Amino acid sequence: MLGPFYGVPSRLRALHKTLDCYFKSEGFTNAGFEESVWRRPADAKYAADIVISCHVDDSLIACSSLSVMRKFKSAVLQRFIVTDEGRVTQYLGCQLIRDRPNRTFQLVQTAYTERLLHTFDMWDDVYTVAAPMIPGTRLFKADCPDTRSPTLQRRYRSIVGSIGYFVQMTRCDMAFTCGHFSLFLHDPGPVQMAAAESALAHLRGTHDQGLSYCDPSAEN
């Protein structure tokens, strides 16, 4: 029977349980406390370690051996009705940029940032700022208006929610800003809105920045 998948919690739990049982039957164990990440050590069946990370119905498979990865993916494709998207270039709204010769890896949200800033009219003719909040800036309850503006509140909440998504994915440098802004979701005013738009101006100037990883080499 076919039916909706997202929005039905029982089906998401059933999928996770099915995947968990299958992976563990293949010799995988959970990676620490992460129940959505599994690791299988190398042995006679698969000659290299395999790591799998799942987010709802999207999965990432990592392995140092392409032949081992192909062998394992072939087994998964026989067991489940799934698609193999090949090498990962984007995941959960993020772009993955890999430089194999230099052994570097970047996780950025450039395309999402541009779309978001266009939505808030903060892409063209924007004076960018160097920090998510001007140093020394604090917002206070006294700055909140006595009469709430629904239009301003919707815009403010949308901005703060969007910044929160960046914090969760690639922009941990904006965590304090997002937390501070979240204190005023109930009754923001022009002062809070100006601070939120300043944070967007910072994103405009840093829209191509994110998380960077590198191989420090055996000596480091």
Whether the CB-CB separation of 189 and 144 falls below 8 Å is answered with yes
Residue 194 lies in a domain: yes
Residue 1 lies in a domain: no
Dig out the tokens for 52 from the structure.
């799998």
| Identity of the amino acid at 194 | A
Digit-by-digit pLDDT tens for the chain (220 residues) are: 455 666 677 888 888 999 999 999 999 999 988 899 999 999 999 999 999 999 888 899 999 999 999 999 999 999 998 899 888 888 888 999 999 898 899 999 999 999 999 999 999 999 999 999 988 888 999 999 988 899 999 999 999 999 999 999 999 999 999 999 999 999 999 999 999 999 999 999 999 999 999 988 777 7
Containing structural domain, residue 37: 9-86
Per-residue model confidence (pLDDT) at position 8: 72
Per-residue model confidence (pLDDT) at position 158: 96
Whether residues 15 and 60 share a domain: the answer is: yes
Residue 46 lies in a domain: yes
Task: Provide the 3-class DSSP secondary structure of residue 45.
Answer: coil
Per-residue model confidence (pLDDT) at position 184: 95
Q: In angstroms, rounded to a whole number, what is the distance separating the alpha carbons of residues 77 and 85?
A: 12
Residue 158 lies in a domain: yes
Per-residue model confidence (pLDDT) at position 198: 96
Task: Return the residue matching tokens 């194999």.
Answer: 100
Whether residues 80 and 127 share a domain: the answer is: no
Whether residues 117 and 40 share a domain: the answer is: no
Residue 213 lies in a domain: no
Whether residues 80 and 112 share a domain: the answer is: no
Total domains in the fold of the chain: 2
Whether residues 113 and 82 share a domain: the answer is: no
Whether residues 152 and 188 share a domain: the answer is: yes
Residue 216 lies in a domain: no
